Amino acid sequence: MSESQEGLVELILPGGEGVLRHQNNNILIANTVAGDHIQYQIAEKRRGVLRGELRKVLKPSIDRIQAPCPVANECGGCALQHMSLSSQAALKTEWVHQAFVKCITHHTQFTALNSSQTVSAGRRRVRWFIEGGKMGFRKRISHQIVHNHKCMVVSPGLNERRKQLEHNLQSFPPVIESIQAVELSNGYHIIFESNAKFEDVVLPDVNVEENVQYWWRHLDSPSIKPLHRPTFSFFDSISLEPYKNCAVDIQIGPNDFIQGHQQGNQILIQQVLEWSKGSHRIVDLFSGCGNLSLPLAAAFNATVVGAESNVHSVHAANKNAKRLKLDATYHEVDLFGRFAIEPFIGADTLIIDPPRKGAKRICNMIQQFFPKQIIMVNCDAASGSRDALALQQAGFRLKALRPLDLFPYTGHVEVISLWTS
């Protein structure tokens, strides 16, 4: 490691690392706030980028606060612990504005974040790693774990589950490397993860509870096996108000993707519902298990056609549609390759909710789908910016843009945008 240097942190990048200049090079340093005058050391060069280690804050930024979590400087989970929620909201709003600025016009309704719109800490999907008889999250840029008695961003139910699991850890097979947990409206999926095969180990002895389903996953395989039968079904309950005075219960399996916050997911779905009013035909690309489109089918009696590459999610979406007696059909499709687009043409509302790398191919061929309007959801503002430019070049106009802070204290921001022709 080099000798200590001094410098001024100029800005915070999406992801949460601070940037300062040193001899015409950008240095990325975690746990900093824009305006901090710091002492640091250059630690390494990773993927062509210099990274430094914070040694001391010489003069703190006016936006710096005492991190509320005692392990904030070590844990790799929350990059913005040293900023107040209001400062985080302003920063994340600016990230989204800058990413989409080339598409924003005076006609665009842009909704800035404020701290009251930040969902409360209550993450419902986690993966704990195991080391030395303890469970925790990994350190930043490391495989070592940080153990904390209670995580402030995880739901109370999952914090309690972690304590119970850790208490029984010595009775579990030592080959377990991590434990994944998902909290749903009526129960928990607990997934033991290992490089050992299911049939090669003495399986953990678990107490069967009606609101907990235990599973075994081989880390090199998508296969997952229950540790007890009968298996229990758990649901994410999504309110349809004010459109219907009820909720829709979407069954979520251990292999199904689900938004990390239930409250945040409800906010996201409410925005999709509002923008989709009057739609009779919905096309949902990167549909997952139907998280965004099944509520539309239930609220508006709409017809839904979805596409997703994950076979487990397609099966779950169709199973949910059948159980709920909704007019929704989902297809297994590689949306990054060549596919028949005929089933997806002519939507009143076309939903695009791609993974982090975006939907470049879909957006470049968007004119072939002939949608009346497009709702795009991006979990990465940079790839969302690229996809937005493709929509704009295809003749669509950015009508509304809204950042959503579904992961407070992290360097992550969700973006939802509405496009009309």
Q: Are the beta carbons of 250 and 238 closer than 8 angstroms?
A: yes
Q: Give first-to-last CA distance, the chain, whole Å.
A: 54
Q: How far apart are CA 165 and CA 190, in angstroms?
A: 10
List 75, 289, 363, 379, catalytic entry: 379
Q: Are the beta carbons of 398 and 103 closer than 8 angstroms?
A: yes
- Label residue 46 left, alpha or beta by phi (over 0 means left) and psi (-120 to 50 means alpha): beta
- Label residue 148 left, alpha or beta by phi (over 0 means left) and psi (-120 to 50 means alpha): beta
Is 379 catalytic? The answer is: yes
Nearest of 415, 399, 421 to residue 104 by alpha carbon: 399
Q: Are the beta carbons of 117 and 175 closer than 8 angstroms?
A: no
Q: How far apart are CA 134 and CA 128, in angstroms?
A: 9
Sequential DSSP letters for 2-35: ---EEEE--EE-TTS-EEEEETTEEEEESS--TT
Q: Would you name the residues annotated as active-site residues?
A: 379
